[in-house]
Amino acid sequence: MKNKVQRFGKFLSGMVMPNIGALIAFGFLAALFIDTGWIPNKGFSSMVGPMLTYLIPVLIASTGGRMIGGDRGRVVGAIAVIGAIMSNTDITMLMAAMVMGPLAGYCIKKFDEAMEGHMPAGFEMLINNFSAGLIGMVLAMLGYVIIGPVMSAILAVLSAGVNLLVERGLLPLVAIFIEPAKVLFLNNAINHGVFTPIATAQVTEAGKSIMYMLEPNPGPGLGVLLAYMLFCKDKATKDSAPGAIIIHLLGGIHEIYFPYILMNPMVLIAPILGSFAAIFWFNMTGCGLVGPASPGSIIAYMMMTPGPDMLKVIIGVLISAGISFAVASPIVKMAGGKSLEDAQNEMAAMKAEAKGENVVPGTIEKADAIKKIVFACDAGMGSSAMGATKFRNRIKGNRPDITVINTSVDNIPSDCDIAVVQTTLADRAKKSAPQAQLITIGNFLADPALDALYVQLTTGDAPAAPPGENTDIEIPDLPVKKQVIIADGIKLGQTPVTKEEAIQAAGELLQKLGYVDGTYVAAMQEREKLVSTYIGMGVAIPHGTTQAKGTVKKTGIVFFQYPDGVDFGAEKAQLVFGIAGIGDEHLELLSNLCTLLEDPARLETLKTTDDVNWVLEQLS
């Protein structure tokens, strides 16, 4: 049931979110130029009504039509919604648009399927144009007679219910549903399916609506993050909170605080009470926004606030943040909970599930049809290269027909059958390769999902290659163009440091040896914040972001050995390789490292040896 609601919410948001700009444009026009606006202007204010009555419903319906029926569905959806709009121009037909658009897309899609293979040659354009026009006309008539009046009645009932809650002072109770829905990724079904249509209808009458304020208020999440920043016992989580605050408050990305709640579910009480208090304040003082605050940052929130409500809205946000902080602080102090990394992975899995994505490899119906597997990381430089090399070596004996390559997550090729990425990069991978099956993993070298994928691709019961077998790694056409590691780039027997200090040391040595300029070091730290460069088996390979490739002067790798290990989240890395690569010049060294990782004895020696020449011999 939860999955169905999540996907329904995703579908609704898919129609509304691409058109939020139009709602914001309407909000600005209303806030600035209507009679009660900041700078009243009769000419400019004349655009407000038509934009709300006609433009926004047509945009939403055309988007919904395109989602189901492609470009022809987009056109038919725009035609069809006009009937619903004209059935009652006194209200904004957003809900009707969310029905008419997908219905139009479905009808034209079914017509096209029925005509496939039966369309006379030379009549394609004639049939396509007339079919779109006729289907659109019939649906517009249906919208005028049935769907428009029905959706008007439903909106009237919902609005009456909201007005009743407002009059009785019960509106704050919706916080009990909103905050858990946000963490479970059910908020889209509530926000875009109910709140936005009601709010838009209220704006036409009152010029503002409290319904726009309920879900995007950044205050409750801010309180939770402040509590973690000040009182969390786990240093890594505590250090991550200030950055999360900036992203949440100024960027409006509320998802950043969801893992902090998943770490200790009792913390959820805090944003619920914070949101409850804010809604009570907004209701009592008559606050409202003139348009949707999207994304839910304090900047967007204030820009959609009418001038007379500015101070009251700020106070409401502070009240919600203060109460959320006060409630969350003792819970954070006392609770242990799971690690932030585990909570982030859980959140990413929940989000992927809400979008219908594969978060673990499912059954591959036609394993023999798989021809290309792509390992993708942020930059396509280090972890994905090693993951691809290791998996290629592992599978080549059973499936030599499968090509295994690596790339950056934003450049996955269109002929990719399976994309293997870390959980936190799943969203970007899905956008880059929507046609591919998505396999999400914890690390590229040793992950149960990779074991399951191997078994599925090799007919079901073939075991993974045991250590010591199949250790010859082939990377065709990748000759070493130059020596990428030298004795001065090897530092053994290092004393334990923090992850950030280890990355800083690797970056500074890369700079000292002339491989990169000074900005690359900061890019390495930034890359680590995106997703961990720990790849398993005690190995981490920090490197810069994709954008920082231009700062690399020449390919080079440095190696730091920490016998006691460096904490990379829940794992310790004894071997830290700093990488700066141009093209593929560093891949042969990584293939040598993969070979070494297949030999447990040599790997353990690498973690403890004090012989620089031996290390250089193994890696060169």
Cis peptide before 361 (omega within 30 of 0): no
Our answer to whether residue 377 is catalytic in this structure is: yes
Written as six digits, the tokens of 279 are 């809604």
Determine phi and psi for 527, rounding to 5 degrees.
-60, -40
- What is the C-alpha to C-alpha distance for residues 518 and 198, in angstroms, rounded to an integer? 53
Could you tell me if 172 and 280 are in contact, meaning their C-beta atoms sit under 8 angstroms apart? yes
In 3D space, the residue among 165, 162, 169 whose CA is nearest the CA of residue 205 turns out to be 162
Written as six digits, the tokens of 141 are 């008539």
- What is the C-alpha to C-alpha distance for residues 496 and 82, in angstroms, rounded to an integer? 68
Our answer to whether residue 543 is catalytic in this structure is: yes
Could you tell me if 491 and 560 are in contact, meaning their C-beta atoms sit under 8 angstroms apart? yes
Determine phi and psi for 554, rounding to 5 degrees.
-160, 160
> Where does residue 616 fall: left (phi above 0), alpha (psi -120 to 50 degrees), or beta otherwise?
alpha
The 3-state secondary structure of 542-577, one letter per residue: CECCHHHHHHECCCEEEEEEEEEEEEECCEEEEEEE
Q: Considering 287, 377, 416, 594, which one is annotated as catalytic?
A: 377
Q: Are strands 534-536 and 418-422 parallel, antiparallel or unpaired?
A: unpaired
Q: Considering 248, 254, 543, 586, which one is annotated as catalytic?
A: 543
Could you tell me if 90 and 79 are in contact, meaning their C-beta atoms sit under 8 angstroms apart? no
Measured CA to CA in angstroms, residue 471 lies from 63, 401, 589, 593, 618 at distances of: 52, 19, 15, 11, 14
Burial class, 593, CB count within 10 angstroms (exposed 0-12 / middle 13-18 / buried 19+)? buried
What 3-state class would DSSP assign to 516? strand
In angstroms, how far is the first alpha carbon of the chain from the final one?
55
Written as six digits, the tokens of 560 are 């730091």
Amino acid in the structure at residue 164: L
Amino acid in the structure at residue 482: K
The residue count of the chain comes to: 620
- What is the C-alpha to C-alpha distance for residues 412 and 418, in angstroms, rounded to an integer? 10
- What is the C-alpha to C-alpha distance for residues 238 and 253, in angstroms, rounded to an integer? 19
- What is the C-alpha to C-alpha distance for residues 467 and 604, in angstroms, rounded to an integer? 13
User: Within 13 Å, how many C-alpha atoms sit on residue 338's CB side?
Assistant: 15
- What is the C-alpha to C-alpha distance for residues 257 and 508, in angstroms, rounded to an integer? 32
Residue 321 CA to its chain's centroid (Å)? 25
- The DSSP string of 79-99 is HHHHHHHHH-TTS--HHHHHH
- What is the C-alpha to C-alpha distance for residues 207 and 587, in angstroms, rounded to an integer? 61
Sign of CA dihedral 417, 421, 427, 429: negative
Written as six digits, the tokens of 264 are 């200790």
* Catalytic residue numbers, as ranges: 377, 543
